[in-house]
Structure 1
């Protein structure tokens, strides 16, 4: 046996281990698409594969790459050289493929909805009074890549925001469907809430919520849309923005109206929005009688500088076939005066 062959064989064990891991990985790579059990098996195989690459192949390659390279060149059989180089290339290629797949490792397989609630403050960063920065706002949403979004404080063709249709502008930039629900006339245009959806929407409705006379409160609305999910099922999604006054009387009445709407809805119902009420308030207590919030003892969402209270929520009607996978507040401190809220829900039907 030649010295070159002996040198190559000296490194055979880690290469064999890594190669076996590669073979296993390719064989089971599509298994996770078949069933949840298959997904778990793929995770196990993937863990073994990464262990072999990280702890066996790469350390040897780093320490001895030069001697190994020239040893392979010393082998007289061209077929053997090609075979060895192809073997190494296979391992390195698999490393790259696995790395790309792991970038999406936080995605949960199956029937999952990623929902965002965001009071966008008409696209005005609090640190820049009078400035509308739609690019920053759109980017804040784009980074999270939600399936459904409830937006509040949206301007459509108002003078203060440059006579642009913010609802349409955001939706087109994100390639999402949208429905804008006007709450009031303002500054030559409209002001209200907006629904964004990756999925087809239909049967859109605007409910005008009660504002008690002489309280000084603004008119408020609930926007809803029927969402056609990718499994062929439908849900109802709602966006709202409740009264902001210190006196809670309007919020309480408005929440009671939303509860009645939800109870009369035949489809599973998800609501999101700026409720202008903290968890301990009477308005949220009323909400909790009909809805399940995606957080308890929630992280603060307002104000954007040193947030100290939670007033933005996502919830679904009690008894609907959803389970909460995650709830988080996104630490985006520039684009608006509120922090965006994200919830991951699995729909179990």
Structure 2
């Protein structure tokens, strides 16, 4: 009996230390507007993608909060309700009487959150970086960052450098996701590559959602973390003009 108890305790210890898997989704939702129907808003379809993926943490871009084009709905709150997840909204800009920005959803309780304005050397649409801290069931705390970089190359490079500076503060695991508006060999991605690891084996194009040609959506992990990719792939969907990007990460 003692041997059984010892073996069980040992296996639990191994699972706690080596089996910390986290499922991640990065998704530019185009304010819930499926590209095939210009005047339709379908948050139910977005929520189904999230729930079907089984993601623990979701980073979403192009989210409307009380904007007329999406029926004045607080999409951040509604998506949290539809998925049963905790949420943190980060405004990019004021838009048409409402707010437009990014959203983090978490299956686990958010125990800390921060919003950072990203640098804009050239005039353009303001961008932000949202970071939340979540406590996993194992008791380990990880941080999760979500962003939507600018279209301007100069701004993207400056924003990538700023994200690296923030990432350098972290000892705990840090995951970065987002629509980075940058191809894998672009200057902005080269900057992020100095601090973050990304999948270069099973990655692929994420935009547009039909016959995707460009890889501009990413899931990255700080290089100070020991981890392995258990999965990394896009999910077929017509709910947005971007494909949702899924990853499963195991921290060592």
- TM-score normalized with structure 2 length: 0.91
The number of residues matched between the two structures is 242
Q: For the residues of structure 2 that align with 1:276 and 1:34, how far apart are their CA atoms?
A: 46
Q: Describe how 1:244-259 pairs up with structure 2 within 5 A.
A: 244-245=151-152, 248-259=153-164
For residues 132-178 of structure 1, give each alpha carbon's deviation from its aligned partner in whole angstroms, at most 9, with x where no partner exists.
Answer: 01111111111111000000000111111111111111111111110
Q: Which residue of 1 aligns with 2:70?
A: 161
Shift of 1:268: 1.5
The 8 Å contact of residues 28 and 240 in structure 2, kept in 1 or not, is answered as: yes
Q: For the residues of structure 2 that align with 1:170 and 1:310, how far apart are their CA atoms?
A: 25
Q: Describe how 1:172-211 pairs up with structure 2 within 5 A.
A: 172-211=81-120
For residues 201-238 of structure 1, give each alpha carbon's deviation from its aligned partner in whole angstroms, at most 9, with x where no partner exists.
Answer: 12211100011244xx2100000001111111111100
What is the DSSP-based 3-state SS (H/G/I as helix, E as strand, rest coil) of the residue aligned with 2:105? strand
Whichever structure has more helix as a proportion of its residues is 1
| Pick aligned residue for 2:51 from 142, 154, 160 | 142
Q: Which residue of 2 aligns with 1:232?
A: 139
For residues 62-81 of structure 1, give each alpha carbon's deviation from its aligned partner in whole angstroms, at most 9, with x where no partner exists.
Answer: xxxxxxxxxxxxxxxxxxxx
Say whether residues 1:171 and 2:80 are aligned partners.
Answer: yes
In structure 2, do the counterparts of structure 1 residues 32 and 244 end up closer, same or farther at CA, with 3 Å as the change threshold?
A: farther
Aligned residues: CA RMSD: 2.0
Q: For the residues of structure 1 that align with 2:141 and 2:10, how far apart are their CA atoms?
A: 24
Whichever structure has more strand as a proportion of its residues is 2
Shift of 1:298: 2.2
Q: For the residues of structure 1 that align with 2:147 and 2:126, how far apart are their CA atoms?
A: 12
- The runs of at least 4 consecutive aligned structure 1 residues that moved more than 2 Å come to 31-36, 294-298
Q: Which residue of 1 aligns with 2:241?
A: 337
Unaligned runs of 5+ in 1: 1-30, 40-108
Q: Which residue of 1 aligns with 2:148?
A: 241
Q: For the residues of structure 1 that align with 2:8 and 2:190, how far apart are their CA atoms?
A: 41
Compare CA radii of gyration and give the structure with the larger one.
Answer: 1
Q: For the residues of structure 2 that align with 1:167 and 1:212, how far apart are their CA atoms?
A: 29
Shift of 1:319: 2.2
Q: Describe how 1:33-52 pairs up with structure 2 within 5 A.
A: 35=11
Unaligned runs of 5+ in 2: 1-6
Higher relative contact order (CA 8 A, sep 6+): 2
- TM-score normalized with structure 1 length: 0.66
| Pick aligned residue for 1:122 from 31, 36, 49 | 31
Q: Describe how 1:1-349 pairs up with structure 2 within 5 A.
A: 35=11, 110-214=19-123, 217-245=124-152, 248-296=153-201, 298-332=203-237, 334-348=238-252
Q: Which residue of 1 aligns with 2:3?
A: none
